[in-house]
Amino acid sequence: MPTFNDERELSLTAAGQDAVDAYNHTIRGYLCMAPDTGDRMKAIFAADGDMIMAHCLKGYFMMLMAMGGLVPKAQAAAAKAMELAPGATPREALHARAVSHWANRDLDGAARVWEEILLDYPHDILAARLAHFGHFYCGDDRRLRDSVNRILPYWTENMPGYSYLKGMQAFGFEEFGEYTRAQAAAEKAIELEPNDPWATHAYAHVMEMQDRQDEGLAWIERLRPHWTQANNFQNHIWWHEALMMMDQGRMDDVMAQYDAHVFEPDSEEYLDICNATSLLQRLEIMGLDVGGRWAPLADKVRERTEEHILTFVDMHYLLALAAVGDGKAHEMREFLAAYEGDEADSNLPIMKALGVPMADAIIAYRDGRYDDATAAMMPVRYEVWQVGGSHAQRDLFELILIDAAMKGTNAALARGLLAERHAAKPGDHWTEKTYTGLLAA
């Protein structure tokens, strides 16, 4: 099989230039989160049904959806990639190995292979972006920060895709708490390519973590014509905008945003469900009546209690079920506890060590057994980062803990938790109000 060069001069095994062009187009779509990325991938298959990187991409895209029903399809794509690996380049063979790890639920193993690829091929932007995703859902902000910084010295600004690396660098710095450098990297990314939802979002995180809501909202507003071209990821930016409104105490606006942009009635996409669940729970903690909004969310996840792809996602699904008092929440907790899975499954130890106690806490919290909720959450609260997601997303579990403590019988715990939050987030509207109220009482 002949080899060609992709946009970044990396060797690609393909039947012809048509397939390579379609591959480049697909990678560009993946990076800017274009809604037609799946169709772009189909065009690679139309040009070359035996292109190893097309099968790798197919497996990756299936796993990126984090849906249990797609895992067998990802496994089939990975098996085909492995079959083609002997006739491929060493880099492509490594991608076949990475997708095989991931399709067999070993995201950690896949991330190790992507990093192995990047040491020898620092221009492999697909490996870089997937590693970024993997480190994000392993929760380790050091890995998230270091992964992209290891390869950036090999890049120059004029190389295709450079701006997306700056967006990833911004998010890595942000999660690590280096907000000044994160902001600068996000600004550079957007200066070079305004249609970068991930960089847009990294900047929103910087503003969220520093309680700079006015600047964050202005940034999101300014870039709205660009990020609203994105796939479902745009709903997550709408979610960030709602979070900033919430931080300003604009609860009616948050509710309107939920209805108009955060809750997506026809979507089965995991991030959409997580966004909606997370926002509804926050609204309730902040004292709002969300009416019948939980029921359609619970309906979406009732048959998804045994997927166990990411503990972070499972906890949101469970929250939606527990919120409507569905017995499925208890059933899901039992599935989590009993699931044996594959030895290679890198989510399994996290699910056992953190998912089960967090599920106990969430169910107890929604059942109104607040002391049980705090008892379940307190021993694991400082380990919750391991379920993955961002600091801003995981803050939900801190809020649940505080709310449970306030509604339970341990007043000293409630006061202590609020005091530490007040120190950590001095500009946070709800914390300020709640802490001041508690002290006055």
Residue ranges that bind Fe ion, judged by CB under 5 A: 390
In the complex, least distance from residue 171 CB atom to Fe ion, rounded to whole angstroms: 9
For the CB of residue 339, give the shortest distance to Fe ion in the complex, in Å. 28
- Tokens, residue 221: 């507003």
Q: How far is the CB of 425 from Fe ion (least distance, A)?
A: 16
- Identify which of residues 311 and 390 has a Cβ nearer to Fe ion in the complex: 390
> Quick one: 147 or 390, whose CB is closer to Fe ion?
390
Residue number, 22 or 144, with CB nearest to Fe ion: 144
| Distance separating the N- and C-terminal Cα atoms of the chain | 76
Dihedral (CA of 346, 348, 352, 357) sign:
positive
Q: Which is nearer to Fe ion, 374 or 393 (CB)?
A: 393
CB of 126 to Fe ion, least distance (A): 22
Distance of CA 291 to the CA centre of its chain: 27
Q: How far is the CB of 164 from Fe ion (least distance, A)?
A: 16
Nearer Cβ to Fe ion, position 24 or 278?
A: 278
Closest approach of Fe ion to the CB of residue 167, in Å: 12
The residue to which tokens 């080899």 are assigned = 3
How far apart are alpha carbons 170 and 166 in whole angstroms? 6
Distance of alpha carbon 79 from alpha carbon 185, whole angstroms = 38
3-state secondary structure of 355: helix
Give the nearest distance from C-beta 234 to Fe ion in angstroms. Answer: 12
Q: What separation in angstroms does the CA of 409 have from each of 74, 114, 362, 369? A: 48, 49, 17, 10
Contacting residues for 343 by C-beta, under 8 A, at least 6 apart: none
Task: Give the residue at shortest CB distance from Fe ion.
Answer: 390
Sign, CA dihedral 254-256-257-258, equals: positive
Q: What's the length of the chain? A: 441
Calpha distance 390→175 (Å, rounded): 7
Helices and strands in the chain, H and E counts: 25, 2
Distance CA 408, CA 377 (A): 13
